[in-house]
Amino acid sequence: MAYFRIEYYSRALRRETSFEVLIPNDPREGMPEPAEPMRTLFLLHGYTGKAGNYVPWEMPAQYNFAVVMPSAENSFYLNGLSTGHAFQTFVGEELVDYVRKTFRLALSPGDTGIAGLSMGGFGALHTGLAYPETFGKIGAMSSAFIVHEVAKMQPGGGNEVANYDYYRECFGEPALLEESDNNPETLVRKLKAAGAKIPAIYMSCGTEDFLIENNREMHRFLEAEGVPHEYHEAPGIHDMVFWSEHIRKIVCWMFG
């Protein structure tokens, strides 16, 4: 499987950055060329991570899809307050445009999914809902649905993960957060109000994950809003053992 490490200038980030792409278009002797069109999965890492942290290596060739892996730092895949912290735009617009023009990938929502874990699970749901014309399917594992916690933060506060300034930079003014477009719930309400199509959603979380209640809360919210989605719990904690298994389930659901 071909691996691309790409360094380029990002207007959204106002600087040179890099991302990674996998394209299974180099079959070995006797193997067939991949079918067209190839599907595309945007795969989002978690807090403290970067591109390529967890990849189900055998699946792209088997299921005929490319993987686009941004390194979005600890941004929660949102447009932060500062110039150059536009990570939502980076992933949901700029990279999409770039892989379309460069590789002819991600050309339609039916061919394009977005998935992630923890902070990246939040990012997958949020980015997918922000760009439903781009992403037809969303996979969110062990997701850091922490909007309601952040919304209560006060200057000088924060939590054991990061300080108040960090959360304010990523999510914007906490007092405005619940109503803002940085809250996936707001995006759901707006899409419903507009009668717009909502991407297919698959959520999963380990029952011993410290984020299980946050995921149950989002599940109940989607149920209450009448948004179709799959929701799965399984034994497990917030670790690579869970993600290695469940990213494969998500890919099967998405492209199987």
Instruction: Name the site residues for a copy of itself (rule: CB under 8 A).
Output: 1-11, 13-17, 23, 25-29, 47-50, 53, 73-74, 80-85, 98, 101-104, 158, 161-163, 165-166, 169
Q: How far is CA 236 from the centre of its chain?
A: 21
Q: Minimum distance between the CB of residue 235 and a copy of itself, rounded to whole angstroms?
A: 20
| Shortest Å, Cβ 69 to a copy of itself | 13
Which one, 72 or 201, has the nearer CB to a copy of itself? 72
C-beta closer to a copy of itself: residue 202 or 242: 242
Q: Tell me which DSSP letter residue 35 carries.
A: P
CB of 116 to a copy of itself, least distance (A): 15
Residue 122 neighbours by CB under 8 Å, 6+ apart: 76, 77, 116, 140, 143, 144, 145, 146, 184
Nearer to a copy of itself by Cβ, of 67 and 222: the residue is: 67
Q: Are strands 15-23 and 200-206 parallel, antiparallel or unpaired?
A: unpaired
Closest CA to 115 of 219, 178, 40, 214: 40
Q: Which is nearer to a copy of itself, 83 or 154 (CB)?
A: 83
Compare residues 74 and 231 and give the one whose CB is closer to a copy of itself: 74
Q: How far is the CB of 210 from a copy of itself (least distance, A)?
A: 16
Kindly tell me which of 166 and 231 has the beta carbon lying closer to a copy of itself: 166
Side chain identity at residue 24, one-letter code: P
Which residue, chain included where needed, has tokens 């991302």?
A: 19
Task: State the nearest-atom distance from the C-beta of 201 to a copy of itself, in Å.
Answer: 27
238, 169 Cβ separation under 8 angstroms: no
- Residue 37 Cβ, how far from a copy of itself at the closest point, in Å? 13
184-193 and 119-130 helices cross at what angle (nearest 10)? 20
| Structure tokens, 196 | 């717009």
